[in-house]
Structure 1
Amino acid sequence: MILAGQIVTAGQLNRMQPATYDATATTATSVLSNTTIVDVPGATVTLNTTTPNAIYRVVGTFDVLPGATSPTVLVFGFLNVDGSTDSGVAIQGLTSSVRSTVSQTWRGTLAAAGSHTLKLQTALSASLASGATVRPQNSKISIEILEVV
């Protein structure tokens, strides 16, 4: 917060504008019979904040190609922040073999200043012989950081 009559520093002005980061998946991620959460390779950003309680806004996009169909199995897309899975999940049913792009948005606070890692992860809700693939072409993480002045 800037108070009336306060001299504003260059650092405060820099923190008033949002910082943006993007990373596109580099390799296909097969989730065949995997109910364990795995990273989407390349869809990771490590960034630094200079103040505590910086706010992040993330859009995660998952390019999902089903390898098999199931009326009950789902592909999940997650956001991991500093080793913890954030709430909110991108969900795609595998009821048809049509490729689709699924997105989810997340918002949260980075409590401490310093280095932070945000990444996309994926898993299936249950085992499925041919599962699905999260493809690199359109799988991407986009991040906006807003720091408190």
Structure 2
Amino acid sequence: MPFLAAMVVTAGQLERIQPKFYEGAATVALAVSTSTYADITGATVTFDTVAANAKFKAEAVFDASVTTANTTNLMVGRLVVDGTPDSGGLAVYGMDTQDRATVAQQWTGTLAAAGSHTIKLQGAVTPGSGGAGSFLQSDTKLIVTITEVV
């Protein structure tokens, strides 16, 4: 909806064009030792958009703790938007030492349809043998910003 000169703008119209923020923090540690991705419990946001083509920016921090070191495996975190893994990149942490770090990643995209949406974090270990770790609930967090013009 364009705003025209001398137009009376309502509070509802202004409310719809401001960015909206959503946060989901992990509530349970996710132990990972296989290449099968699993949801990080709590690191999920669900929200509604009014119009098609809303833009999102997702920022995540994964609290990665290596419990069994492996020089070839990586702990990886990804973003899933409405059931589809985002192709914008992974949060990656080497498992060559038994240690811990917070690993960040950002994604952007467009939500093609209006309505309910779910964005969440998942974790896994790259294929190979050995290597185990956890994405801890202490500092694993997802923040999503939604911008839509109605």
- What's the TM-score bracket when you normalise by the shorter of the two chains? over 0.9
Cα root mean square deviation, aligned: 1.3
SS of residue matched to 1:122: strand
Cα separation, 1, equivalents of 2:59 and 2:41: 16
AA aligned opposite 1:79 = L
Superimposed CA distance per residue, residues 104-136 of structure 1 (whole angstroms, 9 cap, x where no aligned partner): 001111111110000000111124445110000
Q: 1:23 aligns to what?
A: 24
Match runs of 1:1-149 below 5 Å = 1-32=2-33, 34-87=34-87, 88-149=89-150
Preserved CA contact (<8 Å) 1:26 1:136: yes
TM-score by length of 2: 0.92
In structure 1, runs of 5+ residues without a counterpart are none
Alignment deviations for residues 19-64 of structure 1 (CA, whole Å, 9 cap, x no partner): 10111101010002x1011100110111011111111111111000
Please give the TM-score of this superposition, normalised by the length of structure 1: 0.93
- Using the alignment, how far apart are the partners of 2:86 and 2:102 within structure 1? 20
State the percentage of identical aligned residues: 43
Work out whether residues 70 and 130 of structure 2, in 8 Å CA contact, stay in contact via their aligned partners in 1.
no
Q: Note the residue ranges of structure 2 that are not aligned, 5 or more in a row.
A: none
Structure 1 residues 124 and 58, CA gap change in structure 2 (3 angstroms) = same
Runs of 4+ residues deviating >4 angstroms: none
